Amino acid sequence: MVRRRAVLAAIGGIAGGSLAGCSSDDPSESTESDYPEYTDVPDEAEEYLSNTSNFDGTGVERTDADEVSVTVGARGNTGYLAFDPAVVAISPGTTIVWEWNGRGGAHNVASPDDQEPLYSGPQVNSDSETYAYTFEESGTYLYVCDPHRIQGMKGAIVVV
């Protein structure tokens, strides 16, 4: 079975040749291809993200980073209703910073079903809002945008 990412990478490589020299300052555009692919996504996260359009079964591996950014309001789920990347693998002690880009309406970051530990507060529509959390314990941390849960605006942090 050919992975969607491999097909998209091949298409991107073909199209990229004609776009050499072009760049995008759009913060909602994915930069996850800049990092190694994380393929050991736990079953719990795969099931949770099954209706998230920008999740293809893999994530990004950032175990070497002290701080990692996740875009809030990235393209996905029929609009700007996604977190990008959808899954990030990190080491204990890494801080994730969710950064709002002002697209897709008002968003927040929350653990599902009022579980701990994530909660950025009530949803906000902003292009300058940030929320940071440092993950100290190994495990899988699921999160959601409360107002866009039904559309699939969900993500996961895997602390390995």
Tell me the CATH class for 30-159.
mainly beta
Backbone phi, psi, residue 96, to 5°: -100, 130
Residue boundaries of the structural domains of the chain? 30-159
Per-residue pLDDT, 33: 57
pTM of the prediction?
Answer: 0.79
Per-residue pLDDT, 120: 97
Predicted confidence (pLDDT) at residue 31 exceeds the cutoff of 80 = no
pLDDT in tens, 53-98: 999 999 999 999 999 999 999 999 999 999 999 999 999 999 999 9
Of residues 46 and 115, more confidence is placed in 46
C-alpha 116/C-alpha 134 separation (Å) is 13
Name the token pair of 155. Answer: 């993500």
Of residues 142 and 1, more confidence is placed in 142
